[in-house]
Chains A and B, each alone.
Chain A
Amino acid sequence: MSGDYKFDTLSLHAGHVPDERHGSRAVPIHQTTSYVFKNTEHAAALYNQEFGGHLYTRISNPTVAVLEQRVAALEGGVAATATASGMAALSTALLVLCSQGDHIVSSSRMYGANINLLENTLIRFGITTSFIDPSDLAGIEKAIQPNTKLIFGEVIGNPGLDIMDVKAVGEIAAKAGVPLMLDCTFNTPWLLKPFELGANLIIHSLTKWIGGHGVAIGGAVVDGGNFDWGQNDKFPTIAGPHYAMDGINFYEEFGPAAFTAKFRAEGMYNFGPSLSPTNAFHILQGMETLPLRMQRHMDNTTKMLEFLCDHEAVDWVRHPNLADHPGHELAKRMMPRGAGSIIVFGLKGGRDAGRTFIESVELASHLANVGDAKTLVIHPASTTHSHISAEAMIEGGLSDDMIRLSVGLEDFDDIKADFEMGFQAAAKFAKTKD
C-alpha cells in the first residue's frame, strides 16, 4: 500500500478483509442477535468498552460494522453508526445531543419528516427549534441562543433544492461553539465531503443513493471527529461524567470519537434503532457501485434538465445546476460534479396537469423514495410533505404544482419517451377540462 485508497476502491472494500477461517470475499451476513462470550471477564470487558467487539446486535453487528466503516471511510470521518433508517439516525443523534430545555437552529427548507420531528415531536420533550432560511446566514447567526446545541440543515434541501453554504454555516457554528450537523442524503460523499468544509456530524438515509436499489431501508450518523466537545459547558454528558460505565467521560476517553461512543453507549442501548444485518448487506451491495451510479445519475440529470427546460409543456424547472437557481454559484463551487439528481418542476396546467403526468408515465415510478437506480416521480404537496403546515410549505418553497423527479439510470432516450407520453396525456387532460 503506497498511499490511502481512493474513493472508488473504498466503495468496494472499506471495512472488510476476508476472514482467515472461511475467506469469504463478499461481506458475510451475520444474522444473529448475540455473540458467545469467551468467559465472564470477556463479557464484562465488552460491556465496559475496554475493547472493541460485539455483544448484542441492538448495539453493533459485524455486517453492520462493515457498512459503518465504509461510510466513515467515504466521508473521511472518524466513525459512523448505522441505524434502521435515516430518520432513526437523525432522531437518535438529536436525543444524544439535546436535553430538555435545549434549542436547535435549523434550516426551514427540508424534508417534511425532518421538520415534523423538530417542530412537533421534540417540542413535547422541551427541545425547541428556530427555523431559518438556509441562505440567510445572518438569520442563522442571530437565531443562536445560549441554550442552542447545534445547527442543522440539508446541503441540498428536499424538495426545494435550496443549497446551504456549508463553509459559512460551519464558521457560524464554530464561532458559537456548537456542532453543525447536516443531512447529506441528497449529496452523498461522491458529490461533497462536508467535513472538509467544517461540518461536524453527517446524517444519511442510506436507503437513497448510497443503497440505490430500493430494497433496504437504512441510515447512518457519521462523526467528523472535528468538534471539540470540551471547549465549553454545553455538552456535560459527553465531556463530563456520564451515567454509563462508572461515570465515563467520553470526551477524555475517546477523544475525536466521543460523540460516537456516546451514540453507541446511550443511543443504541436505550433507543435501539438498530439496522438489520441483512439490510446492511443489501446496502453494501449498492455502495459497491456508488461512484459509477452517481456519474450516470449526474449525466442523465444534465440531459433531463436540458430536455425539461426546452419543453413547451413545462412551466418551470428548478435545479441548482441551472443558472437561474439562487444557489447556482454556490452549488457549482461546493459540488463541481453536480448538485444531485433531484429535479423539481411544474407543468403548464398546474397541479391537475402534474397529477395526470404522474399517473400517465409508465417507466418512471410513482413512489415515495428518491435516489433509486430507477427514475421516480412524486407530488410532494400531497405526499411526502403533506403533514407539514401550510405555512411551513410556503416557507419551505413548496408549490402546489411541484413534481419531484429523481433521475434514474435508464437509457435517457427511454426516460425521455416516457416523459413525452406523460406530457401529452397532461396536455390532453387540460384540453378536455377546457
Chain B
Amino acid sequence: MKHQLIDTQIHIATGGRSFSNDGEALVLLHGSGQNHLTWVLQSRYFAYRGYQVLAPDFPGHGLSGGTPLESIEDMADWVIALLDSLDVKTARLVGHSQGCLVAIDATARYPERVSRLGLIAGALAIPVNDQLLTMSDEALGKAISVMTSWGHGPMGHMHDNTQPGHSFLGYGKRLMTSNHADALRNDLKACNNYSGGKASAAKIVQPALCILAGSDRMTPIKFGMAMADSLVNSERVIMNGAGHMLPAERPAEVNVALRHFLAS
C-alpha cells in the first residue's frame, strides 16, 4: 500500500491483504540495499495467516520515495514514526541483517512499542570493510554483485530455488539495482557507524528469536550467537548450510520458526 509518512510517499507491502491496525502489527525490516522484496516469501505467508503485515520500503528503497536515511538510529525513529502514523500501538519487529540493528535499537529506545523480536542473520554490530564501502560509492554495480555473491550460500550459488525457475543471484542483483543509487552506500555506512548494539541489547527484555545461517559470510554466525547470548530472553535456530539471505534461501524453515515463536 502507498502511505504518506511526513513528506514522503512510501510503499509498504502488506502481503496482498488490507492492513488493519486492530491489534499488533508484524513489521518486517529489510537489510542493507534491500527492500520489501526481501520478504516476498514471508509477507504473503503471514498475511494469509491472520497477521497484520507491514513490510515497508525504507526511504529511497524499492517503491518508496525520499532519500535513504543515514543512521541506524534514524531508521529506528522512522519505524516508530511509521507505527505512529498508522496508529499502531505495539508491534512485533522482525529484522534481516541491518534490519536487526534497527529492530534492536528501536526496541531499546521504545520498549513499550515492541512486544517481540525476530532477528534473522543479524549481529550487534555489522562493520563493513573499506573496500566494499568505497565500491558502494564508486562502483555500485560491482558492490551489488559482490554482496549478492557473498549473501548467498551453496544453494543460492547453485540456483536451487524453492520458487520454480527462479535464480537467487539474478533476482538478488535486480532487487538491489531497483533502489535509489545512494541506498546501498548510506545503508552500509549506517551499519558501519552503529556502535550501540551491545548497549541496546542489554536493555531488551522482550522475547527474541535469533535465526542464524550456518554459512553466513556477511554476518558470520559467531556474531549472531553473540547477539543471541546478549539478549536475556532469547532463543536461537541455526540453519546449517544456508547463506545470509535466509528469508529467500530457506523460506519454509524461516516461516515455520517465526510462526512458532510468534504464536508462543
Chain A interface residues (CB < 8 Å from chain B) = 1, 3-5, 10, 13-17, 44-45, 48-54, 60-61, 64-65, 68-70, 72-73, 76-82, 224-226, 228, 230, 245-246, 248, 252-257, 260, 264
- A415–chain B nearest beta-carbon distance, Å: 36
- The reply to whether B157 and A4 contact each other, CB–CB distance below 8 Å, is yes
Interface string of B33-45 (1 = CB under 8 A from A): 0010100110111
Shortest Cβ distance from residue A90 to the other chain B in the assembled complex, whole angstroms? 17
Chain B residues with Cβ below 8 Å from A13 are 158
CB atoms of B166 and A79 under 8 A apart: yes
Residues on B with C-beta less than 8 A from A256 are 37, 171, 174-175, 178
B23 within 8 A of A: no
Question: Contact: B171 with A79, CB < 8 Å?
Answer: yes
Select which of B48, B157, B158 is within 8 A of A50 by beta carbon: B48
Contact B41 A50 (CB under 8 A): yes
Interface with A: B11-19, B73-81, B90-98, B183-191, which one?
A: B11-19
Q: A47 to chain B: closest CB distance in Å?
A: 11
Hey, which chain A residues are within 8 Å of B164, CB to CB? 52-54, 60-61, 64-65, 68-69, 264
Chain B residue, CB-CB nearest to A4: B149
Assuming the A-B contacts A48-B44, A230-B63, A252-B13, are A260 and B166 also in contact, with contact meaning beta carbons closer than 8 angstroms in the complex?
yes
16 contacts between A and B (CB under 8 A): A3-B149, A10-B159, A14-B158, A44-B48, A49-B44, A50-B44, A50-B48, A52-B161, A53-B164, A69-B166, A72-B167, A81-B165, A225-B170, A254-B40, A257-B166, A260-B166
B195 within 8 A of A: no
* Shortest beta-carbon distance from B247 to chain A in Å: 11
**A73 / chain B contacts, CB cutoff of 8 Å:** 159, 167, 169-170
**Which residues from B are CB-within-8-Å of A52?**
41, 161-164, 166, 251
Nearest Cβ distance between residue B36 and chain A, in whole angstroms?
8
Cα A68 to Cα B165 with chains together (Å): 5
Chain B residues 143-169 with CB under 8 Å of chain A are 145, 149, 154-155, 157-167, 169
CB-defined contacts of A3 to chain B, threshold 8 Å:
149
| Bound form: Cα–Cα A10–B169 in Å | 12
| Residue tally, chain B, CB below 8 Å to A | 39
Q: Assess A5 versus B157: contact at CB under 8 Å? Given A52-B166, A60-B165.
A: yes
Chain B's closest residue to A62 (CB) is B164
Q: Render B53-74 as a binary contact track against A, CB cut-off 8 A, 1 for contact.
A: 0000000001100000000000
The list of the 3 closest CB pairs from A to B, nearest first, reads A68-B165, A52-B163, A52-B162
B174 contacts A78, C-beta separation under 8 Å: yes
Tell me if A17 and B158 are in contact (CB < 8 A).
yes
Q: Does B239 count as interface, using CB distance less than 8 angstroms?
A: no
Q: How far is the CA of A250 from the CA of B170 in the complex (A)?
A: 18
Residue B82 CB within 8 A of the other chain: no
Q: Is the CB of A78 within 8 A of B41?
A: no
A246-B17 CB under 8 A given contacts A3-B149, A52-B166, A78-B174: yes
Q: Does B252 contact A (CB under 8 A)?
A: yes
Smallest CB–CB gap between B176 and chain A, Å?
10
- In the complex formed, the residue of A with least CB distance to B252 is A51
Complex alpha-carbon distance, A407 and B177, angstroms: 40
Query: A76 with B170: in contact, given A246-B17, A253-B16, A264-B164 (CB under 8 Å)?
Result: yes
Q: Given known contacts A70-B159, A77-B167, A253-B16, what 10 new A-B pairs fall within 8 Å (CB)?
A: A4-B145, A48-B48, A51-B41, A53-B164, A72-B167, A73-B167, A226-B174, A245-B16, A254-B37, A256-B37
Chain A residue, CB-CB nearest to B1: A252
In whole angstroms, what is the CA distance A263 to B28 when docked?
A: 28
CB of B230 within 8 Å of the partner chain: no
CB contacts (< 8 Å) of B62 on chain A: these are 255
Q: Is B255 on the interface with A (CB-CB < 8 A)?
A: yes
In the assembled complex, the Cα of A255 lies from the Cα of B63 at a distance in Å of: 9
- Do A255 and B178 contact each other (CB < 8 Å), given the known contacts A50-B48, A51-B41? yes
Chain A nearest Cβ from B264, distance in angstroms = 19
Instruction: Note all chain B residues with C-beta closer than 8 A to A264.
Output: 164-165
